[in-house]
Structure 1
Amino acid sequence: MKAPRVLGPLTFGAGSAAAITVLGAAYFARRVVVPTTTRREDLLIRQVFAGEDGSLRIELPATPLTRAPGRYSLWFGNGKGHACVGDVVDEDTSGGTVTRLVERVDAGDLPAARAGIWSGYAFSKPEQLGLPFEEVNIKVDNGVAPAWKFPPTTDGPVVSTWAIHAHGMGGKRAGALRGVPVASRLGLTSLVVSFRNDGEAPPSNDSRYSLGQNEWLDLEAAIQFAVDNGAQRLVLFGWSLGGSMALRAANLSAHSSRIIGLVLVAPVLDWAVTLTSNGSASGLPEAVARVGLKMLGSKAGCWVTGLEQPLDLSALDWIARAGDLKTPALILHGIEDSSTPVEVSERLAGLRPDLVQLVRFEVPGHSLEWNADTEKWESSVSRFLSSLPVD
């Protein structure tokens, strides 16, 4: 009779730990695949004022992100306001603040804003590029997905190479506008697309992200649209999740032979590593994250995640599948990216030096390479695209 009394508390304790692990893993798994519609405006705006030269300026708390060189984006007013923020003009180290130029206020009352969200969206609308464009609709599952089509700006002969730009998770197509100017100057037609569950394209049947497993089908629809409208060759620009989609399309597309190159910006090459890294950054134990990954990959876990089908993360692991890569790829990746670790990109470049070029950027945050050094970003893309075969 003594054994049960001894084992009882131990069994109860182990059971509680297991239950906590499962609950934490379930929460983690759902957070991964359930689209987010809002973000908390957690960056305080100290003041907005006019400088001595009449330029508009904004004072913010000094952080690695707000101190970084380049052009960035500030969303405010519950996502209805947007401003493009430029160079640092002053820093108060004692007060812990930084002052930057405000290049544009696209919408909203910035002086009245008290907080916002820092991001890489230097452009919130296609008009801001100063390039001709048209709205087009692409037939996808469950309806049509809106896209922007930009003709090339060169005066030479018509080039039948198209660039298709896919944004990242939780974003919208405006985030991919940063890749359009260099593609346009090189004579490419650009198609900036939306895809399922991004709030612009029709949702999937389960209204869940599938980490590129199914999103790539909307990219395939865009590829078909391009081919139907004269594209003979294709370059896929993929930002973060869009990079995972681009790799999958290059591997599975009915038009894969037309895809001559991939421009991958902070791409997700191994979701297990990326999600575990994000979980760790949020204080989630690795063991809990790994249980969550198993839920994502099992039929039994679908009742927790809401997924219509489990995710095959091995099919999205381009480190393990490096031998399957057949398309030249340029990877542009920040060395301080804690969301999608650059080490994974370094591994792929090391495994496939015959096809993969990696250009590193000294910038904190995720998918902010263009923002920190536009000249380096665009010159790297220009050299890469110019090296691709045209026949």
Structure 2
Amino acid sequence: MKTHVLRRAIAPTTGVTAGVTAAVGGGTVGVSGYFARQIVTPVVHVDDVPVLEVGGDHVVFASTEESIAPGRYGLWQNGFDTHVRLGDVLDVDADRVTRRVDGVDFGSLRTGKARFNGYYFCGPPATSLPVALDETVIDTPLGPAPAWVDRVPGSDRWAVLVHGRGALRGETLRAVPVLQELGISSVIPTYRNDIGAPRSADHRYHLGLTEWADVEAALVYAAQHGAREVQLFGWSMGAAVVLQLLDRSWTAELVSRVVLDSPVVDWAPVLDFHAGEHRLPRLVSRVGANLLRGPLRRALAGLAEPVDIRQTNWVARSDELTRPMLLIHSAVDEFVPYAPSAALAAARPDLVQLETWDVARHCREWNVDPARWEQVVRDFCAA
């Protein structure tokens, strides 16, 4: 995706560096306010990987961390006009990387710039997913929001699949074939500030603390269509959304199991991590977190209401968890640190199963080892 949307949002590019430099003039509060604003501001997707050559069955990229990564990926170009499924690396030569092209879902790939993501399957109008998805609309607290549904006839077992921050619904599609195989229907909702979904009044992410209500509407939809049991899936910030729903919603009584991929189980370490990545002191992330919930939140972060990330610390709140939970997380995740997932699993070994990947980037465990990912999910969800 997105996978690096927050990293890109606060990456040390010329424009952002200039913004941080200007903020430094205002002292710690200025820097922290700028930092906090990037975290809650919706993502602008940018084509940033050079495409040097396009062949019938291959494409040549400039060598980057993304283009050289092992596994299968999606590639977008020209906004969302073109989507290509990429296979393995075929050749690495100096500063060039050649990858196999598995298929073009729509559009036409050309030389220029493109952007990698984990969406090997991107959903309608693509036909690469071996499952037919129906388009529907779910009534959320902010208004109608688009969703996809895979209905298994006669089944009363459902799953709700929640994508991450700045991601698209396609991020979750890797789970749908496994769930269909198990006889589990799927609903894949959008939530506030997604492309095509209603906007919140401030057009800001609330890091799961309000988005959960839109996912609650997806559980209500499933219940209205016969669900007697619901399994919840969440990727990255989607995990934070899921955990808030379990805490706050009456629909949690329908939930039997939870699967979280590259999960945010505590926002504070994520903020600390990204401050460190930008050589900023931890004080900046801590002051930024205070600003998100304090009286300066509107002026400095554009938030209409408080975002208190202390409520997202599920390591500290682990005794409140009541559902069996599968955590899938890469030990080298470059966006959401792995340590809180390990700490949560250690705190609740009776409920939490942790599956660790060694090489995958953020939310790309399936991409580097789809067979393992699918087997782990199959074994957990079949119970």
TM-score normalised according to structure 2 size: 0.90
Matches within 5 A, 1:320-335: 320-335=316-331
1:137 equivalent in alignment to 2:126: no
Task: Please say if residues 64 and 364 of structure 1, whose CA atoms lie closer than 8 Å, have aligned partners that are also in contact.
Answer: no
CA offset digits 1:310-357 (Å, max 9, x no partner)? 112121111111111111110111121021011110010000110001
Residue 334 of structure 2 aligns to a residue whose secondary structure is coil
- Select the residue among 27, 31, 40 that pairs with 1:24: 31
Indicate how the Cα distance of structure 1 residues 18 and 235 shifts in structure 2: closer, same or farther if over 3 A, else same: same
1:303 equivalent in alignment to 2:269: no
In 1, the alpha carbon distance for the partners of 2:79 and 2:248 equals 39
Report the equivalent of 1:42: 48
CA apart distance, 1:384:
0.6
In 2, the alpha carbon distance for the partners of 1:119 and 1:284 equals 27
CA apart distance, 1:142:
2.4
- Select the residue among 112, 121, 124 that pairs with 2:122: 124
List gaps (5 residues or longer) in structure 1.
Answer: 1-15, 51-55
Report the equivalent of 2:77: 76
In 2, the alpha carbon distance for the partners of 1:108 and 1:199 equals 19
Matches within 5 A, 1:198-217: 198-217=194-213
Residue 250 of structure 2 aligns to a residue whose secondary structure is coil
CA apart distance, 1:18:
8.0
1:339 equivalent in alignment to 2:331: no
Structure whose alpha-carbon radius of gyration is higher: 1
CA apart distance, 1:68:
2.8
Task: Please say if residues 77 and 108 of structure 1, whose CA atoms lie closer than 8 Å, have aligned partners that are also in contact.
Answer: no
Q: Which amino acid is 1:149 matched to? A: V
Task: Please say if residues 130 and 177 of structure 2, whose CA atoms lie closer than 8 Å, have aligned partners that are also in contact.
Answer: no
CA offset digits 1:289-320 (Å, max 9, x no partner)? 22111101213323221212111212111111
Residue 32 of structure 1 aligns to a residue whose secondary structure is helix
Q: Which amino acid is 1:259 matched to? A: V
In 2, the alpha carbon distance for the partners of 1:246 and 1:100 equals 35
Matches within 5 A, 1:103-182: 103-110=102-109, 112-126=110-124, 127-152=127-152, 158-182=154-178
CA apart distance, 1:175:
1.6
Task: Please say if residues 24 and 31 of structure 2, whose CA atoms lie closer than 8 Å, have aligned partners that are also in contact.
Answer: no
Task: Name whichever of 75-84 and 26-35 sits farther off.
Answer: 75-84
Q: Which amino acid is 1:48 matched to? A: V
Residue 66 of structure 2 aligns to a residue whose secondary structure is helix
CA apart distance, 1:134:
1.4
Task: Please say if residues 346 and 358 of structure 1, whose CA atoms lie closer than 8 Å, have aligned partners that are also in contact.
Answer: yes
Task: Please say if residues 166 and 193 of structure 1, whose CA atoms lie closer than 8 Å, have aligned partners that are also in contact.
Answer: yes
CA apart distance, 1:173:
1.2
1:383 equivalent in alignment to 2:382: no
Give me the CA root mean square deviation: 1.7
Matches within 5 A, 1:187-202: 187-202=183-198
Q: Which amino acid is 2:45 matched to? A: R
CA apart distance, 1:88:
1.6
Task: Please say if residues 278 and 338 of structure 1, whose CA atoms lie closer than 8 Å, have aligned partners that are also in contact.
Answer: no
In 2, the alpha carbon distance for the partners of 1:299 and 1:212 equals 20
TM-score normalised according to structure 1 size: 0.88
In 2, the alpha carbon distance for the partners of 1:212 and 1:60 equals 36
Task: Please say if residues 240 and 312 of structure 2, whose CA atoms lie closer than 8 Å, have aligned partners that are also in contact.
Answer: yes
Task: Please say if residues 123 and 174 of structure 1, whose CA atoms lie closer than 8 Å, have aligned partners that are also in contact.
Answer: yes
CA apart distance, 1:105:
1.5
Report the equivalent of 2:10: none
Q: Which amino acid is 2:70 matched to? A: P
CA apart distance, 1:229:
1.1
CA offset digits 1:20-47 (Å, max 9, x no partner)? 32211111111111112x2332211121
Task: Please say if residues 162 and 189 of structure 2, whose CA atoms lie closer than 8 Å, have aligned partners that are also in contact.
Answer: yes
In 1, the alpha carbon distance for the partners of 2:279 and 2:120 equals 31
Task: Name whichever of 82-91 and 191-200 sits farther off.
Answer: 82-91
Task: Please say if residues 152 and 183 of structure 1, whose CA atoms lie closer than 8 Å, have aligned partners that are also in contact.
Answer: no
Task: Please say if residues 195 and 201 of structure 1, whose CA atoms lie closer than 8 Å, have aligned partners that are also in contact.
Answer: yes
In 2, the alpha carbon distance for the partners of 1:130 and 1:246 equals 26
1:363 equivalent in alignment to 2:359: yes
Matches within 5 A, 1:251-330: 251-330=247-326
1:184 equivalent in alignment to 2:191: no
Residue 67 of structure 1 aligns to a residue whose secondary structure is coil
CA offset digits 1:181-215 (Å, max 9, x no partner)? 11111100000110001122101122110000000
CA apart distance, 1:132:
2.5
Report the equivalent of 1:3: none
